[in-house]
Structure 1
Amino acid sequence: MTYANFITIQPSYHQVCSSDLVSSQWIQYNTRATNDTSSYTYFDYRINSQPQFQLLAMFCQQAQQIVDNGIKTFLQTQFISSQINSQDLFESKINLLISDWRTLILNRYLRPINIIRTISQGNLLMNSGLNNNFSITNSTNKNIKILPRIYSNCSCALSSQCMQFMAIFTQISATVFIPIFEIRNFYIGCSSIESLLKSTLETFYNRSAMLEIDQYLYAPLGSSFNFSALNPKLSLPNETIETIVNRLMIDSWSSNVSFSSYYQRCAPLSCTIEYIGKNNILDVVASLIGIFGGLSVGLKLFFILILRSSEKIRNNLSFIAMKTVIKNLFICYNQQQMITRLQIFFLTISLYCIFLYSTYTTQLITVEINKPTYSTYKSLSLNYSQSLQCFCSDISIPYKSFLTIKPRFHDLCSSQFVSQDWINYLYGEGNLVYRYSFIDFRASAVGQFQLLTSLCEISQETINTSLVQLLTSDYNDRQLLSEQRLDQLIQTQINQFQLVTPNSLLNNLNLIRETLGANMIISVWSVNWLIATESIINSGWTAHSIPIVYGKCNCGSSCTCTQSSQGMMVGCYPLESLLQTTLQCFYNQSCIDSTNKFTQLNISSLKTSQYQMSTTIQSILNNLMVEEYIINKSYENYFNQCAPSSCSYNYMKKYQITEGIINLISLYSGLVILTRCLSTILIKLCSYKSNRITIEITE
């Protein structure tokens, strides 16, 4: 049966996702907030509100789409169980599954957002002046330098968290603007995403504040303003948007697990119970009386037979008696004696054949053991591994109950090269565009190592999330696997995990890389495009972009152009340069840092690494920066989770002489009767034929 038969899930989204703030009318209203952006500062609400609310609307739309698709897929999942669990155990198990599923779709929602944040910062993609400044050294220089913007001593080159309050500004002079209305806790900074995530919507819980903003717009609505404010009774006004995003824009989940629906859908054929009972006093007394009576009669008859037999043996041990017995054995005086002699012959032959068959032939024996212990099973598996079969009481076993998987990541991800100290050291005093040429690795080194740090973090998060998903899933099988087959199953799961898991990250990453290349977005690191003018720069100058060429590769036609620089790589984007960089420089002190402030990677670690010095970062990222998976399993835990209801095994049994004798004794009485009947029939037939022939001769 599917989960839909007994589970219902309903999310309750944050009120902003159904409010006017994410409506097309509100976004269009904010688009008309200005008529000439040149008369406003970069930080004015009137030129930044529209993209921020578009971004907020996108967060809501993506969340709803992922949740709707996730619920549909989850409820179509098959629930497999060999027996009905108790209601408490069943509900606990299902609620745990729902919790794991919610974590899964949350990570599916956040992963592309985090990748975009990572690439935007590492590549330092130019936006509408929020993360960059243009620098003109002199009026005759045709090239214009692009510098990272600084917010209160916070450089956009080092952090995407640099920001300030958004406000309504008024212009005092050509370069001086003063705020006249501050949008409380609504930020603008290096990155639109980062600014929005750190913002709150406090101002938009107050309709009076919204009306006051309206009067400063280019085309105020005035009395026609019909947009509603958020309700402070439904959510906290001072809650950051990042907090809301981190819970999938959802305030609460409503999930219902119906045990009665599950029971009716399962429709069990039968139920069994086990209990340990004790005999009462009456049962004990009755059993003792019965045993005493049976034993007294049995023992009395046994001793009488023994005494009589011994007396007969004593009387018949004389030589004459023995001679008479032998003579009578082979001499027949009448038909009855003939029948007896023939019976003795048949009986002897039958017993002899049965004895030979029982002693020297083999038989396939099947043995069944109910609820074996682990030690019993281990003993049986050593002796009867080929035929041993056990059947689980619970056919659905979580992997986490018997399996642990711990990834070991590449040394780069735990080295000082992913620390903020290293990045600050590379940045130095800033102004990299003046200090280094675009073909010098140091011009974009900060961006490359920011990306390396983020890729390590995202890879680790992706691996850990996927491992949780794997280990909380169930292995379904009615039959208990042998330890060898369980090892094969685990290895198959790991191989599949290694094949599939990177795709979720790499597909998003490659899509964003292709989008960047297609849109040819300028990097503030000045490594893909240069800004220049045709003539002397003056008040009416016009600038244009010139693509940078690496070797014979033009950044205007390909975003993957790179070339070697001081053991590392430089190219159109820091990300592309990083991915095509090999590990060689990281193991060479003079290459990575000749000042010895930061030390190289330990070259001895290569002995235990699956990667060589010539391996590129792209190749390591394809494995999500993982060196190896350390796997620990407990077959005993797997056995206990399976809880076999029974085990059976076969073996070929060869009878012993004692068993042959026992078989003779057990069959003796039946053979006596059978051979007596057969002998009687044969003698009677022979006598009948003999008498008929004699009569015919007389005539």
Structure 2
Amino acid sequence: MLSLLAEHRFISALRTNFYTRSVPGSNIFVTYPAIYPQQVDLTQSSLISNETCRCDHTSDCVYPAGIYNQSQAIIPNQVFSLDAPPLFMIPGFQIGCVPQNALFQSTLECFYNQSCLDIVISLTGALRTVSTLHFSNSSSRFSPTTTVAVLFDNLMIESWDNTTDFATYFQICAPKTCSYSYVQRFFLIYVITIIASVFSGIRVALYTVSPFSQQIIVRNPNLDEFEHLYDMNLSTLSCPCHNSLIPRSKFISIEVKLHPFCSSSFIRDDRWFQYWTMTFLNGSIDPNPPFYWTDFRKNGLKFFNYVKILCDFVNITLSDIMNSYQEEYFFSSQPITQLEFDGITHDWKYLVEAQVEYNEKR
């Protein structure tokens, strides 16, 4: 998308990359590129550096987003400049040639800081319906200064929690019998004594298969008995599952935790969006709010909408993949061991993650 914008020189609706001016007395319009300072030092008296970045050369030009007390018109071929100090420079936020590109280079750090958020609210008049995001190393793998590009690359996913239940799997498998045979090398009374000590002699049958072979059958084995039989390394052990097709949803669940911004009021509360869409209580809309072209009050809606779109996309994608995954069946003719079960469910988790990433890149 960004390469298409650069190649075909699409004009942003916010006029952040190109803008047009009519030639007086004619029907001719001339297109001019936006020009940004290459570097800005807000600690100095001058906000403008000598280096510039032109949007007709690259779409990567960015400038710190702020709230300005001015609404001067754009002057063709002039570097973006301020005729008055900004009311507030919003930490971490960028504006630039293409809103999406500037968004990728921005961070969410202001939304973790109550003082910063209070200033934004006081200068914008946005309703106080939002609260700051909370951060701790134990609850998030992303810091407040993580760029939105990194969050997007990770699909806003904080963690994958894989919950499995081997006991439930075995209970549904429900083998009615476990049997094995062996060549008789001991006195019969000794064999019976050993079997009785393991299985209490209640549900065990002893059959003579041949003059030199014996078959042991354990009826309705529980999980402990099955694991004991498996640990005996019996090559002839057979425990057919009574239910060989088992829904995955019965014994495994995968819960995905997204970045808290995806569920925050910043993109979920219509009252917060009311300000950024310039929609007023009487239902009227101001299509051309009197803000400077780089003012965050004019660019903020694009920022919140882009993040909301991504969060919604991830939620829908995850929901579709998880529903499909949960509806599938696991075929198990014989019960598997705890170790095999853990390995299989671990692989399933990574297959789901890979499918989510693949869908995002299509």
Quick check: which one's helix share is greater? Answer: 1
Q: TM-score, normalised by structure 2?
A: 0.38
- Ranked by relative contact order (alpha carbons within 8 Å, sequence separation 6 or more), the top structure is 1
Q: TM-score, normalised by structure 1?
A: 0.21
